[in-house]
Amino acid sequence: MRPVELKKNIYWVGAVDFDIRNFHHYSRAPEGSTYNCYLVRDEKTVLFDTVDAHGYSEMVKHISEITDPESIDYIVCNHLEPDHSGALPRIVRLCKPEKIFCSAMGLKSMTNLYDTTGWPIEVVKDGARLNIGKRNITFLETRMLHWPDSMVSYLEEDRVLISNDAFGQNIASSYRFADECDRSLLLSSMKRYYYNIVLPYSPQVIKTLKRVQDLGIAIDVIAPDHGLIFRTPEDVKFVIDSYAEFAAQKPKLRAVIAYESMWNGTAKMASAVADGLEAEGVPYVLINLQQSHCSDVMAELADSGALILGSATRNNMPMVNMMACIAHVKGLRPQNLVGAAFGTYGWSGEAPKMMAEALAEMKAEVVGEPLKCYFNPKAEDLAKCRELGAQVARALREKCQG
C-alpha cells in the first residue's frame, strides 16, 4: 500500500485493515475496514485525523513516503473515537506538533481518553477558519453525527470535505476511490454502515445536509475516515443523495423475518410467515439469528419496511440472540416499520408478546396478535403463520402507497 494523492499536495496516509470482521464490537464488517487520515502539505503541514492504534506503523510509513513525520505542524482531530485517535499519543510524541485542533467537546474526550499533559491543544468553534498557507480550512461541527465531539474539515480552495465518520463504509481494498470499486459492494457497505452506526442520528443528517446546501459549499471530493473516497461529481452526488435517502427511512416493500429456535418449531413458523408474504407478492429475507449477527438485521432493514420477529420462549423470555437483536435494533431507532411477532412455547409462552411490545416501543405498526404455537406447529398453526405474513404484506403495501 502506498500513499495516494487526492488533489495536489493532499494525500491519503491511512491504514487498511483486511483482517477485521467485527467493527467496534457491534457490527459485522464482512469486507474489512479502512482508517483513513489525510496529510496536506502547504506552508504548514497538517495531518487530518489519525488511525486506530494498530494502524500506527502503517500510517507513519505512508507519511514518511511524503515527508518526515517530524515536519507535521498541525494535527486536526475531527472526532476522538479510538479508531481515529488510537495512534494520536504516539504520533504526537513523534512529530511534536505546534498545534492540535479539535472541537470543544473533542477537548473533553481527548483529555479524558489520553494523558494530554503538555499537548498544544487549540479548540476551534463551529465555522472557525484556519489559514495554512495557500489554503483555508473551515471547521464545521456535526454534533451527534455521531459523537458530541464530531466535526468535519472543509478545504476551501480544493473543495475537499474531510468528513470523518460521515459517508464512511467498511471496505478494505487496494482501491482508494469509489469510482474504482464495484458499485453494488459500495452501496451495500454504505447501507450496512449507515444502518448500524448513523441511523439514530438521521435527524442530524437531514439538518447537516440542508446546512451544507444553504452554505453553498461546493464539494469536489468527499474524503471519509472509513472506506472509499468520492472524487467524481457523480459520486459526490451519489453519496449525498444516498444519505438523504437513508435518513428519510421511507417504507420499502420488503420484509425482514429474524428468528431464533432451539428445536426448529419457530423456524417452521418463520417459513410459513415467509410463504404468506410471498403469496401477497412481498419479497422477504429470512435471518436465523443463530447463524447471523444482529447487525445483519439492520443491514437488511435498509431495504425493508417490515420487521417480523420470531423466537421460542426460553426461561420466560425470547432467546438470547433475539434479546440482543432487539436491544441492537431498538437503540438504532428505525422509523416507519410494520412489525409482527411469533414463536413456539412449551408452557408459559411469553416471547411473542414481549417481542410485539418491543416492536411497539420502536413505534412500529404492529400487525395482528402475537402468534403463539404450542411446541410443534401443526397444519392449522402454519396456516395462521401464513395469514400473519399476508397481513404484514397488506399493511406494508398500504404504508408504501400512503
Ligand X SMILES: Cc1cc2nc3c(=O)[nH]c(=O)nc-3n(C[C@H](O)[C@H](O)[C@H](O)COP(=O)(O)O)c2cc1C
Q: What residues line the site for ligand X (CB under 6 A)?
A: 261-266, 312-316, 344-349, 375
Which does residue 81 bind out of ligand X, Fe ion, none, counting CB within 5 to 8 angstroms by kind?
Fe ion
- 141 grid coordinates: 461541527
Q: Which is nearer to ligand X, 253 or 317 (CB)?
A: 317
CB of 301: closest distance to ligand X in angstroms? 23
Q: Which is nearer to Fe ion, 58 or 83 (CB)?
A: 83
Please give the Cα distance from 228 to 167 (Å, whole number).
Answer: 9
Taking contact as CB under 5 A, which single stretch among the options 83-91, 201-209, 247-255, 371-379 is the one that binds Fe ion?
83-91
CB of 246: closest distance to Fe ion in angstroms? 17
226 has catalytic annotation: yes
Concatenate the DSSP letters of all residues of 303-342 into one string: T-SEEEEEE-EETTEE-HHHHHHHHHHHHT---S-EEEEE
| Residue 365 binds Fe ion (CB under 5 A) | no
Q: Which is nearer to ligand X, 162 or 270 (CB)?
A: 270
Q: Which is nearer to Fe ion, 83 or 141 (CB)?
A: 83
Q: Which is nearer to ligand X, 203 or 346 (CB)?
A: 346
Q: Is 56 helix (H, G, I), strand (E, B) or coil?
A: helix
CB of 310: closest distance to ligand X in angstroms? 8
b/e 10-32 (16+ beta carbons within 10 angstroms → b): bbbbbbbbeebeebeeebbbebb
115 has catalytic annotation: no
Q: Which of 49, 81, 300, 381 binds Fe ion (CB under 5 A)?
A: 81
62 has catalytic annotation: no
146 has catalytic annotation: yes
- For Fe ion (CB under 5 A), the number of binding residues is 3
Specify the amino acid at residue 399: K
Residues 155-194, interacting with Fe ion (CB under 5 A)? 165
Task: List strand residue ranges (DSSP E) for 157-226, in order.
Answer: 160-164, 221-224
CB of 180: closest distance to Fe ion in angstroms? 22
CB of 373: closest distance to ligand X in angstroms? 8
Contacts of 294 (CB under 8 A, 6+ apart): 321, 324, 325, 328, 329
Catalytic-labelled residue, pool 17, 158, 165, 296: 165
CB of 20: closest distance to Fe ion in angstroms? 12
54 has catalytic annotation: no
- Report the alpha-carbon angle 227-230-233, nearest 5: 165
234 has catalytic annotation: no
Peptide bond into 146 cis (omega under 30): yes
CB of 301 closer than 8 Å to CB of 333: no
Catalytic-labelled residue, pool 62, 84, 146, 293: 146
Q: How deeply is 216 buried, as exposed, middle or buried, from its count of CB atoms within 10 A (0-12, 13-18, 19+)?
A: exposed
214 has catalytic annotation: no
Segment (H or E) for 92: helix 88-95
Which does residue 165 bind out of Fe ion, ligand X, none, counting CB within 5 to 8 angstroms by kind?
Fe ion
Q: Which is nearer to Fe ion, 79 or 268 (CB)?
A: 79
- 218 grid coordinates: 461546493
As annotated, the active-site residues are: 24, 79, 81, 83, 146, 165, 193, 226
Q: Which residues bind Fe ion (CB under 5 A)?
A: 81, 83, 165
